[in-house]
């Protein structure tokens, strides 16, 4: 740089400085110095553009290297893996902080911004003397003008950056905004410093010079450009933002041209870039899809889908990458306007499909026109844009969409399925697809695309899960149910993250006033007839636990290789996913997270967690058997007299509520708390004087809060009496936390609950649902295996000739309920066995089916496991004359005054300190209570063994359940042998054996 100054000074001094006049020589010297500094400023201004060009070159090399490593990288050796983990650790720490504190996730973008802006500052301060404010002020202005070409280059929609750097214009727009902010700072400092200099030197009139006034105009334009581009204004008033942005950019360039002649070269370069971009765009439109007719379809939720015939010939719109978007213009409705929308179809389809949520403005007008009967509208398409991630180069892909964010995820998933079927250029082995919507009717948006993808997907390649967060979809099917927002899952830090009413596509449009649409319920009944019921097996109700979903995906991916996460939806949903990825970061392997916010958005690179066991799809009551899961606890009270609920579930020291958090009160002292909701069901009808207004069905109260911390339960229990009570406390490590998943459930006069698990449930779920009649299929509101088992029981009861909805006054009778129960067990057993065919017998996970059902008169329970060597989940009963508090402090006991039985209690574990009062229900047996008479029926099938045959409790204990016989514990404590055991004193009628093969 010193050489540059010397050369410039030498050239400039040879002119005026050679004058023989002293003054002339002095002026010549001053002019030479000014010329030297001006030349130096220009050289530094050029360095700004040189550094920008160098940055583009570096990122091009990095992009090429990354593509090469994605193609060639394999599993490193353990030794090299250890080295790589050590090297990656600092980066992991940095990325975890970045992902938790900012939405701009890609570290490379931040590095580029910091380095580039740091160089700008260096160019300003270097060789200006530091304290020479005039030189610093002038340099700030020159450097600001030098940023014009990079600023406009980064704003190009048809930038070569996508080709050379893999940087789509959405990502480039992030850099564009940061360069603009830096330029505003430089212009601000340039203006403030010159204003200070002129006023401090007593020359404020110089600020009124024409060139300076024009400079103030340019400064004002910069302010409008920057502050008018904030996210809120940009999203809310997109059209106004766009027009103001263009106008202010023109004012800024014009003012710079007139303000200082040294800016002219940068202004000309910027105008050239703008013109070049416009020419490219007009050419793309000309050979793309100009002024075509689009068919219009309306869907629930104020959705319009435009289907545009794909152009032929050399059109650029013949092919596009998954997740690409285009700018759509509606000349007849909003001439001169263009909005970006993600293309919902793939380039292999015959049309360009665009899904739009109707708002006010152009899209609202379009929606109203479609409702009025319009079949087609003229459109103009500019695109495709967006350089999407190469998801097919990752072994595991997790796609999460919220609302209309499905437009991005569905195209990526369909492309992966297509590549997998064709076996061309794909490394992906597993795809997890999650879509969060507020209503099942919204499935109709992508009905055909989703059905085709599911039909084409190979086995074990695609796992689809559709989360419905509100119950409005149930209104059309069950008018008695009120719509309500389902509670959010545990550990979701922001409930807003799943508000799927605002997504990336919607934010681009800028119109926010919702256009009223038909009720979701009526639209659901309409669209369901058209085929959305085919997706019922993939639907789960309630808000997803994003952290748990990511953890499961990471665990499954740990053995497969690289993993990519793609998310499109509300910004808060993107934040939830980023935080979940951050929570699973280690230095072992990488997770690349792609956040779709404007086309194919920013990329976040994280690390993958160490291998853990995976979970399953929608099954809330079960996960991989290798995990020790927390399971449920149940209680049944059947008595001649109505009993206060408080004496059953809140006051006793050994109640199931106290056992759920205090392990000292139960036999199995190892397990954690049962705090994932509870439910209590009871009958209020008096059989001797029935009230038709009350009906025969039970009253059920459920909540997702821990039972011991629910004041409403305590108040209710102190004022409610019933002669038949079902109570249940729930614990689960998988799935969602929602009231619809809390036991018990009811149908007519029937009530049902379950403790245990159904093995291989995701594999048999579709078959189970297919076997159901419509009324029982539609009755299911949650996503647990337990509730689907109840639906199957209702179907079996119907098959036996008894309508579950009939609710006979005297009940269905114990024999009818028992046969339906055994038929349910038999079907689940057979389907599970078929699903596990081919697995090693020792490695098959058994089902534990401790079911309980009542019709208000009789109670039928099972203690059953599909294994000959394992213990089922524990189940006990006790009977007597009264169950009362014999000592203050919640000390209850079962009292027997005679051989009669006025009270029967059934529970997962003994509810009193006198555990000898409790009888173990044998493995694989059915317990029936009718008029306080307890009957035990062995279930004779391939899993039945004599009670004397030893069984292992390992499986039950691995699921957080107690499987060992309480009698062994008591005998050991009392030092008794079998003949002396007090368990013999309870009255039990053992009836002849039942073989499930003899059932009708």
Catalytic residues: 632
Q: Report the C-alpha gap between 178 and 779 in whole angstroms.
A: 54
Half-sphere exposure of 899 (CA within 13 A, CB side): 4
104 closest CA partner among 486, 598, 777, 655: 598
CB 644 within 8 A of CB 885: no
Q: Please return the burial class of 376, using the count of CB atoms within 10 Å of its CB with bins 0-12, 13-18 and 19+.
A: middle
Q: Report the C-alpha gap between 645 and 706 in whole angstroms.
A: 17
Q: If you search the block for the tokens 């040879």, which residue do you land on?
A: 14
Phi, psi torsion values for 76, nearest 5 degrees: -70, 160
Q: What is the chain's alpha carbon radius of gyration, rounded to the nearest angstrom?
A: 36
Tokens describing residue 167 = 């940087």
Q: Report the C-alpha gap between 117 and 182 in whole angstroms.
A: 7
Tokens describing residue 558 = 């740990």
What are the start-end ranges of the H helices in 228-355?
A: 231-236, 238-259, 264-286
490 closest CA partner among 662, 705, 331: 705
814-835 vs 785-799: helix crossing angle, rounded to 10: 120
Q: Report the C-alpha gap between 500 and 507 in whole angstroms.
A: 12
The CA-atom distances, in angstroms, between 123 and each of 38, 43, 143, 531 are 14, 10, 8, 64
CB atoms closer than 10 angstroms to residue 173: 18
- DSSP state at residue 130: S
DSSP per residue over 544-599, as a string?
--HHHHHHHHHHHHTTT--EEEEEES-HHHHHHHHHHHHHT--SSEEEEEEEESSS
Beta-carbon contacts of residue 471 (< 8 Å; ≥ 6 apart): 481, 482, 483, 484, 485, 486, 541, 740, 781
Half-sphere exposure of 92 (CA within 13 A, CB side): 20
The CA-atom distances, in angstroms, between 890 and each of 324, 497, 644 are 66, 44, 14
Angle at the Cα of 772 from the Cα atoms of 770 and 774, rounded to 5 degrees: 105
Tokens describing residue 584 = 């699973």
Beta-carbon contacts of residue 722 (< 8 Å; ≥ 6 apart): 637, 642, 643, 645, 682, 683, 684
Run of H or E including 729: strand 721-729
Beta-carbon contacts of residue 214 (< 8 Å; ≥ 6 apart): 255, 258, 259
- DSSP state at residue 17: G
Q: What share of the chain is helix, strand, coil (3-state, %, to 5)?
A: 45, 20, 35
CB 682 within 8 A of CB 654: no
Beta-carbon contacts of residue 8 (< 8 Å; ≥ 6 apart): 35, 36, 39, 40
Q: Report the C-alpha gap between 630 and 652 in whole angstroms.
A: 23
Tokens describing residue 246 = 């263009």
Tokens describing residue 990 = 């053992």
């Amino acid at each position: 740089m010193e050489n540059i100054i010397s050369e410039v000074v030498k050239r400039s001094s040879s002119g005026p400085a050679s004058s023989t006049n002293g003054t002339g020589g002095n002026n010549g010297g001053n002019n030479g110095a000014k010329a030297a500094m001006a030349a130096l400023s220009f050289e530094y201004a050029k360095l700004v553009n040189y550094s920008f060009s160098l940055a583009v070159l570096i990122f091009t090399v990095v992009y090429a290297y990354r593509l090469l490593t994605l193609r060639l990288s394999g599993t490193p050796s353990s030794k090299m893996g250890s080295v790589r983990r050590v090297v990656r650790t600092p980066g992991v720490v940095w990325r975890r902080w970045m992902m938790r504190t900012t939405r701009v996730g890609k570290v490379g973008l931040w590095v580029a911004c910091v380095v580039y802006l740091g160089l700008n500052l260096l160019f300003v301060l270097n060789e200006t003397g530091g304290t020479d404010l005039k030189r610093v002020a002038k340099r700030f202005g020159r450097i600001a003008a030098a940023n014009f070409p990079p600023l406009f280059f980064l704003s190009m929609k048809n930038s070569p950056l996508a080709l050379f750097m893999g940087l789509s214009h959405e990502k480039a727009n992030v850099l564009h905004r940061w360069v603009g902010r830096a330029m505003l700072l430089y212009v601000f400092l340039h203006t403030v410093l010159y204003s200070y200099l002129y006023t401090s030197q007593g020359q404020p009139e110089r600020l009124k010079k024409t060139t300076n006034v024009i400079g103030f105009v340019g400064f004002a334009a910069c302010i409008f450009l920057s502050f008018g581009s904030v996210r809120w204004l940009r999203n809310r008033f997109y059209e106004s933002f766009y027009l103001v942005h263009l106008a202010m950019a023109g004012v800024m360039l014009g003012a710079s041209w007139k303000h200082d002649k040294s800016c002219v070269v940068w202004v000309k370069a910027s105008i050239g870039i703008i013109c070049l971009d416009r020419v490219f765009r007009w050419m793309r439109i000309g050979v793309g899809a100009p002024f075509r007719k689009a068919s219009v379809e309306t869907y629930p939720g104020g959705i319009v889908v435009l289907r545009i015939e794909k152009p032929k010939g050399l059109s650029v719109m013949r092919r596009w990458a998954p997740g690409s978007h285009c700018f759509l213009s509606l000349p007849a409705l909003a001439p001169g306007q263009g909005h970006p929308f993600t293309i919902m179809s793939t380039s292999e389809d015959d049309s360009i499909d665009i899904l739009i949520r109707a708002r006010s403005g152009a899209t609202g007008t379009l929606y109203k026109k479609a409702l009025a009967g319009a079949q087609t509208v003229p459109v103009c398409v500019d695109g495709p844009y967006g350089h999407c991630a190469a998801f097919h180069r990752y072994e595991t892909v997790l796609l999460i969409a919220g609302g209309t964010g499905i437009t991005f995820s569905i195209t990526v998933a369909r492309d992966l399925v297509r590549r997998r079927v064709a076996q061309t250029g794909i490394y992906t082995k597993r795809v997890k697809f999650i879509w969060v919507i507020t209503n099942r009717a919204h499935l109709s948006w992508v009905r055909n695309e989703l059905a085709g993808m599911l039909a084409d997907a190979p086995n074990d390649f695609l796992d689809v899960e559709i989360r419905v967060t509100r119950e409005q979809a149930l209104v059309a099917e069950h008018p008695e149910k009120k719509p309500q927002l389902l509670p959010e899952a545990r550990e979701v830090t922001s409930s807003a993250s799943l508000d799927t009413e605002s997504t990336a596509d919607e934010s681009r449009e800028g119109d926010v006033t919702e256009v009223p649409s038909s009720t979701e319920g009526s639209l659901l009944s309409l669209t369901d007839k058209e085929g959305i019921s085919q997706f019922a097996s993939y639907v789960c109700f309630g808000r997803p636990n994003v952290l748990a979903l990511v953890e499961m995906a990471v665990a499954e991916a740990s053995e497969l290789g690289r993993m990519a996460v793609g998310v499109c939806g509300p910004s808060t949903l993107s934040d939830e996913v980023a935080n979940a990825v951050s929570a699973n970061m280690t230095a072992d392997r990488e997770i690349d997270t792609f956040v779709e916010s404007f086309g194919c958005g920013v990329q976040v690179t994280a690390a993958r967690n160490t291998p853990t066991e995976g979970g399953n799809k929608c099954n809330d009551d079960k996960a991989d058997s290798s995990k020790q899961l927390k399971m449920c606890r149940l209680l049944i009270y059947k008595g001649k007299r109505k009993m206060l609920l408080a004496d059953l579930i809140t006051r006793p020291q050994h109640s199931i509520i106290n056992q759920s958090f205090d392990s000292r009160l139960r036999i199995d002292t190892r397990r954690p708390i049962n705090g994932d909701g509870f439910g209590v069901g009871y009958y209020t009808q008096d059989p001797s004087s029935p009230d038709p207004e009350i009906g025969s069905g039970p009253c059920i109260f459920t909540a997702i809060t821990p039972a011991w911390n629910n004041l409403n339960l305590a108040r209710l229990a102190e004022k409610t009496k019933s002669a038949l009570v079902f109570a249940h406390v729930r614990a689960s490590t998988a799935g969602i936390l929602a009231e619809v998943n809390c036991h018990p459930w009811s149908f007519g006069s029937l009530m049902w609950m379950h403790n245990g698990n159904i093995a291989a449930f995701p594999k048999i779920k579709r078959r189970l649902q297919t076997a159901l009649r419509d009324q029982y299929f539609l009755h299911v509101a949650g996503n647990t295996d337990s509730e689907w088992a109840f639906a199957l029981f209702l179907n079996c009861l119907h098959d036996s000739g008894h309508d579950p909805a009939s609710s006979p006054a005297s009940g269905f009778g114990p024999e009818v309920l028992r046969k339906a129960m055994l038929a349910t067990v038999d079907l689940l057993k057979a389907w599970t066995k078929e699903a596990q065919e081919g697995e090693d017998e020792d490695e098959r996970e058994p089902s534990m089916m401790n079911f309980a059902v009542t019709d208000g008169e009789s109670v039928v329970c099972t203690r059953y496991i599909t294994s000959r060597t394992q213990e089922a989940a524990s189940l006990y009963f006790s009977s007597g004359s009264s169950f009362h508090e014999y000592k203050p402090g919640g000390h209850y006991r079962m009292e027997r005054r005679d051989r009669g039985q006025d009270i029967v209690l059934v529970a997962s574990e003994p509810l009193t300190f006198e555990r000898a009062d409790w009888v173990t229900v044998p493995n694989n047996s059915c317990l029936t209570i009718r008029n306080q008479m307890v009957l035990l029926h062995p279930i004779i099938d391939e899993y039945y063994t004599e009670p004397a045959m030893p069984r292992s409790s390992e499986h039950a204990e691995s699921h957080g359940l107690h499987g060992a016989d309480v009698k062994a514990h008591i005998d050991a404590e009392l030092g008794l042998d079998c003949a002396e055991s007090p368990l013999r004193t309870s009255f039990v009628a053992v009836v002849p054996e039942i073989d499930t093969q003899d059932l009708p």
